[in-house]
Structure 1
């Protein structure tokens, strides 16, 4: 299954106009709409509704995709990944942790 990533992507690895370093290769399925976006800013610019965060009890849901290998992981897998894809070992931007509160309820 191919995941469709919405927003202002700049390549096929889910980078967007807001975040496009070599390590910015994840997209997140937003709890509010079930759609994948590269970042909260893309969601804000393109969705017709406000963001809602994933509650802890739904962290078993597949809601993060690696832009490199396209592996769709659960929120638990992503939060425990130490910024490394559990399937292909690609590096994720560790700075994304600064925005976790915009996507996920605190552990």
Structure 2
């Protein structure tokens, strides 16, 4: 008797305004805007902070330093979940990209890091 095929793991929930399949939203739509982020206040990922502010019923809470080793970043291309430390390391390079699939990330996202994650910690 053969074991039944296992079901693929569920895809993480991503919320946002006018989402495309790679997590781009109404606010950020370039080819490199393929990152969704999970804030400390929500179980799901958000396409961007503006989407959270538009759709959530509470203020956004950045991830505290103690949460930096948990997955709070989602690559919209390969769906890899990255820790804050992995994401910050990827963003520190000359060409920010997903460490799993190599999809490019928008280097300008570093300017908004403080909206999602507490200051400090490893980069």
Shorter-chain TM-score bucket reads: over 0.9
The alignment status of 1:98 with 2:111, answered yes or no, reads yes
Aligned residues of 2:41 and 2:61 also touching (Cα < 8 A)? yes
**Counterpart selection for 2:99 from 77, 83, 86:** 86
Gaps of 5+ in 2: 1-9
The alignment status of 1:4 with 2:20, answered yes or no, reads no
| SS of aligned partner of 1:81 | helix
After TM superposition, list the pairs within 5 Å mapping 1:62-81 onto structure 2: 62-81=71-90
Cα deviation, residue 58, structure 1? 1.1
The alignment status of 1:31 with 2:44, answered yes or no, reads no
CA root-mean-square deviation: 0.9
Cα deviation, residue 20, structure 1? 0.5
Structure having the higher Rg: 2
Aligned length: 107
Runs of 4+ in 1 over 3 A off after TM superposition: none
Cα deviation, residue 10, structure 1? 3.1
Counterpart for residue 49 of structure 1: 58
Cα deviation, residue 34, structure 1? 1.9
